[in-house]
Chains A and B, each alone.
Chain A
Amino acid sequence: MKKLLIPFCLLALLLCGMSGAAMAAYPDKPLSMVVTYPPGGATDFQARIVTTMSSDEKFFGQPIVVINKPGAGGRVGWNWFAEKAANDGYWLSTYNAPHFIAQSLVFKDSKFTVDSFEPIATWGADPAVLIVPKDSPFKTLKDLIDFAKANPGKVTVNGAGLYVGHHIAMLQLAKAAGIKLTYVPEQGGTPAMQSVMGGKVMAGFNNLADAYRNRETVNILAIADLQRHPFIEDVPTFMEQGVEVDNSSVNYRGIFLPKGTDAAVIAKCEKAFLDMFNDKKVKELMVQSGSPMHVLDRKQTAELFTKVKKNLEELLKDIKE
């Protein structure tokens, strides 16, 4: 036995060395990134913008190919990614918080939880804003709250779907102001915007990016974040107006990897993505398309997930009743 020990140790060292060398060669073929929404949507084109530069040697030296796997608000793609994606470092996925966390809590047969993934970085934060049609009788947030107090349940507020940021924002607003609102889930951000524009609902929560682009036809009453946003300087936050709505409903977008991916790979990805997100050209393209950026690294992203999960568990308890 002893005679074999030394060669065995040498072999083991050699193998470690080789894998170290292999890691240095990562990536040696294109990477695949799963986007869990249809092509043309906000997450899709933002993902394409932030990864356009990845072939540059400074970042990955290999292109990142976007693979759309839409369905069930993102759940189809995340189910697949948690179960079937290889954790060799060549498969990445975009994430949308609070969407995936809310879904993992609400849908018991989801194949993923917050812990099924290794967060890498975040590129964007799209806060929810409260919008009303241009000719609405509600000129400020207070008007809406007063009307809702006088007519409980009569105010219709829409959003891009169930258990997405907009829904969370509505729940927080209702709880904080002590009013009863009726939520109308739509088929996505653009149909929701359309309904508000056409006056089919009295108000709605939508993405800052879309509301900003349509500011001619809708009025923005408040922003659900901790501070005002440079795109819309004169819109106050909920908190400024005395309503306790924080930034739990902000739609964060970023990248994660399957659980069990090698630590060296994770580190390399984190560095490359942070560099890409902070690149001048990427920032320019994002601003050009009206998409707000907010870069977080791995540790911050993981903390974000924990915080959002805690908030959601509390808020969603209220829905169940």
Chain B
Amino acid sequence: MINARKRLLETTVMFAIPVVALWMLDDISVDDAKFFPKYICYGMLILASINALQLWLYLNRIRPISWPTFLRWSLPFKGGPVPFPVRRVGMALGLMTVYVFAMETVGFYLSGFLFFLLSLLVLDPAKPTPAGAGRKAVNALIFMAVVYVLFSVMLGVVIPSGIAL
């Protein structure tokens, strides 16, 4: 079944991007530099219209949503398809955002270790136990240690140091 709300959102975004881009191009003085992006935006608008047209034509017929190849699983999961785990994805998203923005201030290795540990704790569907948490911390430490040896010691690369290591 076609999810109408999702399709509407998709169509709006597809039209919005070229419009915003064209608006941003207006400030530019050199005409030649506007040429390429301008025609790309026009092309995108045409494609967005075709897409909207296709959606409209098929709106009243049952048409399965086709997932892109690269995410398609060749074999089904045990127990059939499950509902989308909103909470888990949200937590992962939050953790990652904090990690990315805190990395520079806190330092690569420390923030990496904390991120690894926290994601293991938070995203695990099983109930947390002290022993389990301890084991996870050890895993996190081992991983960061390997990365440390490989990158900082052997290759001597530069990483943001921040407060701690």
| Chains A and B directly touch (beta carbon < 8 Å) | yes
Interface residues of A (CB under 8 A from B): 32, 65, 67
Residue B126 CB within 8 A of the other chain: no
Considering only CB atoms, which chain A residue lies closest to B156 in the complex?
A: A65
| Interface residue? B158 (CB, 8 A) | yes
Q: A67 vs B158: C-alpha distance in the bound complex, in angstroms? A: 8
4 A-B pairs closest in CB distance: A67-B158, A65-B158, A32-B158, A65-B156
- Shortest beta-carbon distance from B45 to chain A in Å: 29
Chain B residue nearest to A32 in the complex (CB): B158
B156 contact set on A, CB distance < 8 A: 65
Closest Cβ of chain B to A256, distance in Å, is 20
- Determine how close the nearest CB of chain A comes to the CB of B117; give it in whole angstroms: 29
> How far apart are the CA atoms of A65 and B157 in the complex, in Å?
9
Q: How far is the CB of A1 from chain B (nearest CB, A)?
A: 39
- Residues of B contacting A67 with CB < 8 Å? 158
**Cα distance A67–B156 when bound, in Å?**
11
Who on chain A is nearest to B158 by CB?
A: A67
- Considering only residues 130-165 of chain B, those with a C-beta below 8 Å from chain A are 156, 158
- A to B CB contacts below 8 Å, 4 in the list: A32-B158, A65-B156, A65-B158, A67-B158
Chain A residues positioned under 8 Å from B158 (CB to CB): 32, 65, 67
Distance in angstroms from B71 CB to nearest chain A CB is 33
CB of B155 to closest CB in A, whole Å = 12
CA–CA, A65 and B158, complex, Å: 8
A166, B21: Cα distance in complex, Å: 33
Collect the chain B residues with CB atoms within 8 Å of residue A65's CB. 156, 158
Quick one: which of B37-55 are within 8 Å of A by CB?
A: none
Residue of B nearest to A68 (CB): B158
Q: Give the distance in Å from the alpha carbon of A32 to the alpha carbon of B158 in the complex.
A: 9
In the bound complex, how far is the Cα of B156 from the Cα of A65, in angstroms? 9
In the docked arrangement, what's the CA distance between A242 and B62, Å?
81
CA distance A138 to B8 in the complex (A): 63
Cα distance, A32 to B161, chains bound together (Å): 13
Task: Give CA–CA (A268, B158) in the complex, Å.
Answer: 25
Smallest CB–CB gap between A183 and chain B, Å? Answer: 14
State the Cβ distance, B1 to closest chain A Cβ, in Å: 47
Residues in chain B near residue A32, CB distance under 8 A: 158
